[in-house]
Structure 1
Amino acid sequence: MFPVILLGGCGVYSFTGVAITAETISIDMFYNDAEGGPPDMAQTFTNEIRDYYQSNTNLTLVEDDGELQLEGVITGYRLTPIAPTATNNDQLGGSTSALTRLTITVQATYINTQDDQFNFENRSFSFYSDFDSNQNLTTIEDQLLEEIFDQIILDIFNASVANW
């Protein structure tokens, strides 16, 4: 027969490494101040970051004045050629790019009303994804945005409630 061990105690525990004593969070609508990108990019980002905090914490999402508050703006949506290739086509200027990089930058402000040592203001978070320049951006843009947003949201999460 195996003995059963009961663990007890008090405190805040989390299997994700996130120890949060606050009960509420308000996440304002992120707005788009970047040139380019799909028209619903800010709404998509806001919904995804709200979902992420609700899925990975026990925080209750409230409209205003949460114990934790997050807001921000998408400040960059940039396409950059990153892998030049030689070509014999003079109409293209003698060279093209094999890869294009989509980079998105988000500025976020985080306020912890219980402990202001964790606050940050207008902190930039950026991530990118590379794609074959022969691909049509509109056909893969949603996939690229999802990949980029996932990383930016993780970075914001880690900087705020995970204290990393």
Structure 2
Amino acid sequence: MTYAKYLRFFLLVVLLTTVGSGIFTACKISYSFTGASISPDVKTFTVYYIPNRARLVNPNLSQQLTEALQDKLLRQTSLDQLEESGDLEFEGQITNYDTRPMNIKEGDLAAQTRLTVTVKVKYTNNKNHDDDWEKSFSAYEDFDSNQILSDVEDSLMEEILEKLTEDIFNASIANW
């Protein structure tokens, strides 16, 4: 190729890159490796305290769930947290905290017990109310029935909170 052809090729690449980036920024949606797809005009979020309205109450669960959801959003998005009136708002309540026998073995005894937590969440996208929803999410963990709940509760809650926050994140931020 001659110098003139190289120059034309270079100018064509620069032109296409410049024009192409201008076209695509007009309808930009931000994606990240965490699966989040957030509109560029969304900058903040608020997670309101999630009270425990279940019959059986774990006294720490409300605070743990609220903080776990806040931490998840801070870790996996570039959004700033506000105490109230964020672009994205999460509120809700814990509606169920229950244990139930599972895997019945001989003698009608349970081999395992299942701890289930259900939370009802209201998600409000103040930049696009078409994305608003209200849903219930449940997560559970099984443990050996020979164990006392209070002995294994902390480790079970870590797993359950991880599942719940992942499901809430996927339903809101990742739009799954």
TM score, norm. by length of structure 2: 0.81
Match of 1:67 in 2: 87
Asked if residue 58 in structure 1 is aligned to residue 60 in structure 2, the reply is no
* Paired AA for residue 33 in structure 2: F
Which of 148, 162, 174 is equivalent to 1:136? 148
Distance in structure 2 (CA, Å) of the matches to 1:17 and 1:105? 24
Aligned residue pair count: 150
Asked if residue 104 in structure 1 is aligned to residue 122 in structure 2, the reply is no
* Paired AA for residue 78 in structure 1: D
Helix, strand or coil for the counterpart of 1:135? coil
Distance in structure 1 (CA, Å) of the matches to 2:83 and 2:167? 23
Match of 1:92 in 2: none
Structure 2, gaps ≥5 residues long: 1-16
Runs of 4 or more above 6 Å deviation:
none
Helix, strand or coil for the counterpart of 1:79? strand
Which of 107, 132, 135 is equivalent to 1:119? 132
Distance in structure 2 (CA, Å) of the matches to 1:31 and 1:147? 20
Classify 1:77/1:141 alpha carbon distance in 2 versus 1 (closer, same or farther; 3 Å): same
Structure 1, gaps ≥5 residues long: 1-6, 88-94
Match of 2:9 in 1: none
Match of 2:58 in 1: 38
Helix, strand or coil for the counterpart of 2:113? strand
1:19 CA displacement = 2.1
Which of 145, 156, 160 is equivalent to 1:148? 160
The percentage of counterpart residues that share the same residue type is 40
Classify 1:59/1:100 alpha carbon distance in 2 versus 1 (closer, same or farther; 3 Å): same
* Paired AA for residue 112 in structure 1: N
Name whichever of 29-38 and 123-132 sits farther off.
29-38
TM score, norm. by length of structure 1: 0.86
> Whose radius of gyration is greater, 1 or 2?
2
* Paired AA for residue 49 in structure 1: L
* Cα deviation digits, residues 102-143 of structure 1 (max 9, x gap): 11100000000111121102x100011111100121111011
RMSD: 1.5
Asked if residue 13 in structure 1 is aligned to residue 25 in structure 2, the reply is no
* Paired AA for residue 31 in structure 2: Y
